[in-house]
Chains A and B, each alone.
Chain A
Amino acid sequence: MAAQWRTYSDNELIAVMRRQGDDAQHAFGELYTRYADRVYAYCLRVLGNEEEARDVFQEAFYRFYRTCRTDGDKSTAGLLITVARNLCLNSKRDRKHTVPVEEWHIVALGSPYEQKELLTLVSSALELLDFPLREAFVLRQYQQFSYNEMAEITGESVDVLKNRVWRAKEKLKELLSPILEDLSQL
């Protein structure tokens, strides 16, 4: 039966979920399979903390199941990210955790860098960005949302979001510059 659900569109699956029948969970399972990685990636990169990201990620899907709503033209991915975003904002408000740039540089610099390490450093560098910049960067670069979709999710204008992505890249480049320089010369 699992194969059958793959032929359903997102809206059809949500309609099945709304009926609250036995198959609601199957339909939910299919949507989970489709979007879990994206939502988790968003949570993790925006929050920068695995434990928090996991909690928010689970709560996002749980709330999505409970309400199983659609929102106009917003895609299911956009809808899920919106739910996750609100939870991320709540989570961020509840904690005041920052990593000083100086501290990060001590960790990041002074050793040869492999691609794998660069992955870790990029994710760590993301944490140094202000939330709006980090979020815009994650939505654009990790989630591949268009600027219009990003505007729907965040409620910001396209121009503002473009500017944020730009600034986020510049900031990341600045933070990672020594490492990127080394790797470029390899």
Chain B
Amino acid sequence: MSSLHSYHDLLQEYFDEGLSGVHEEVLFAELGRNGEMRREFSRMMRMHKTVQADAAHLKAPAYAADDIMRRITAMPVPQSVSAFIIVRRIGAFAATAVLAVLATIAVVRIGGLEHSNADVLRPVVSTTARPPAATHAVEPLPPTGIPAAVAQPTARHRANRTVVEYHKSFPAFGSEEPIQHSTPSNAITHASISRSPFADQSIRSGKIASVETPISMGSDDGLLRYARLQEEEGTVALSLRGMSVGGAAVAVSGQMSAGVFYEVNGNHAFGIEAGQEPFVDVSTVDVDGEAVEFRSTETLPWAMAVYRLSLPELGIESTVYPFAQIGAGAARSSALGKAQLGIVLQPEHRVVFSFGLESTVLFRSQASPLTALRWTYGVGVKL
């Protein structure tokens, strides 16, 4: 260190970000030798401490909090929030139905209807009109008087058709039924749960199983969930992050979906699907050294884009054939993925029944993914 200016720099650094061991030694060696540097050090130390003391004693005015809260409570709810509340009130089912109708209209208007009408009419026209000979060679027409659908089985899988479908599902392979809560809907923020289903299905622990009713669950904030278990000696509160409390609507309409598909050809179809379904969340909480398994159900509305591969060529006379389907979308703010394998029964060209096994993964931002395995069945109409 060769100049006073450099020592001055070291002093500044010392009071700002601190010095490394070597530089600190250099500085303090100089302070031991140089009286002017010691006075400078003293002045800076005084200023430094004064600023720290000033920062420590500055407190926000007590009344400011009240003023802010008054403004907040008087704040009008933004329109987007209002819309959200309306959706919550009318229920996810109604919202899903609206979505499905809108999606149907959109797909049909885009062009599916024109194609499908033409396809439906074509066999009828073919039976009455005499086609050119060249067309005969490529696609022989059925004899007059024989229904086109019978004479031409592949007509069931004609391309460019719009299919509207409705599905229900139920747990597969021992997946537990969602817990039935005594709450009217997801919209409520605090739910009381009757002891029996909760204790039997939700908590498995000697300690907790003996708990007296009432047991209450809460989702005060929509994020933190807790269960409060009334015990003889007091209340045990379990804080469970990332869990959710579902509603009673779970069993009635909780596992359904509606979709609109556009068949590109007999094998490939793309579509959009929306629905709602419950996800059973299992968490283990340590209570006084005992692991308590806690189950809760979250019913989520969802929407996704879907691709379906149908394989009528592997089926029985194109009436019963396998299909596979994958989809990706969102459930509220979480990503959702689905995969399905199943069988289609198509007794005639307009109606489709399906039955399959569906796997669902819900990716959550603050918790591990939820998975579900369900049987699913549905009916579809080809427009």
Contact = CB atoms under 8 A, between A and B. Distances in A.
Given A37-B60, A169-B12, A177-B43, A16 B72 contact: no
A165 B81 CA distance: 43
Nearest to B59: A37
Nearest to B55: A142
A101 B363 CA distance: 61
Contacts of B221: 16, 19, 21, 23-24, 26-27
Contact of A41 (B47, B53, B55, B67): B55
Contacts of B42: 180, 184
Residue of B39, B69, B221 most packed against chain A (CB within 10 A):
B221
Contacts of A157: none
Residue of A15, A27, A29, A177 most packed against chain B (CB within 10 A):
A15
A169 B65 CA distance: 33
A36 B43 contact: no
Contacts of B69: 25, 29
B73 interface: yes
Interface string A25-48: 111110010001101110011000
A130 interface: no
B43 A173 contact: yes
A15 B15 CA distance: 38
A41 B44 contact: no
B223 interface: yes
A173 B44 CA distance: 7
A40 B59 contact: yes
B67 A58 contact: yes
A115 B222 CA distance: 50
Interface in A102-156: 115, 118-119, 122-123, 140-143
Contact of A44 (B43, B58, B223): B58
Given A181-B43, A183-B46, A8 B224 contact: yes
Contacts of A118: 46, 50
B134 interface: no
A106 to B, nearest CB: 21
B63 to A, nearest CB: 9
B222 A21 contact: yes
A127 B86 CA distance: 51
Contacts of A26: 220-221
B152 to A, nearest CB: 56
Interface residues of A, number: 54
Nearest to B222: A19
A25 B50 contact: no
Contacts, number: 125
B312 to A, nearest CB: 47
Contact of B222 (A16, A169, A172): A16
Contact of B72 (A57, A65, A141, A177): A65
Residue of B223, B226, B239 most packed against chain A (CB within 10 A):
B223
Given A21-B222, A39-B60, A180-B47, A115 B53 contact: yes
Nearest to B61: A54
A24 B53 CA distance: 34
Contacts of A180: 42-43, 46-47
A62 B72 contact: yes
A184 B84 CA distance: 64
A44 B60 CA distance: 10
Contact of B58 (A8, A15, A40, A172): A40
Nearest to B51: A141
Given A65-B72, A140-B16, A119 B224 contact: no
B310 to A, nearest CB: 41
A20 B72 contact: no
B220 A1 contact: yes
A32 B220 CA distance: 19
A92 B221 CA distance: 38
B11 to A, nearest CB: 10
B134 to A, nearest CB: 65
A144 B220 CA distance: 35
Given A21-B221, A23-B189, A118-B50, 15 more contacts: A4-B224, A15-B223, A19-B222, A20-B77, A26-B221, A28-B72, A36-B64, A45-B58, A54-B61, A57-B64, A65-B72, A141-B48, A141-B52, A142-B54, A142-B55
- In order of increasing CB-CB distance, the 3 nearest A-B pairs are A40-B60, A23-B221, A36-B60
Interface of A: 1, 4, 7-8, 12, 15-16, 19-29, 32, 36-37, 39-41, 44-45, 54, 57-58, 61-62, 65-66, 115, 118-119, 122-123, 140-143, 162, 165-166, 169, 172-173, 176-177, 180-181, 183-184
25 contacts: A4-B226, A7-B239, A16-B224, A21-B189, A22-B189, A28-B72, A29-B65, A36-B60, A36-B64, A40-B59, A41-B58, A45-B58, A54-B64, A58-B71, A65-B75, A115-B53, A118-B50, A141-B48, A142-B51, A142-B58, A172-B47, A176-B47, A180-B42, A181-B39, A184-B39
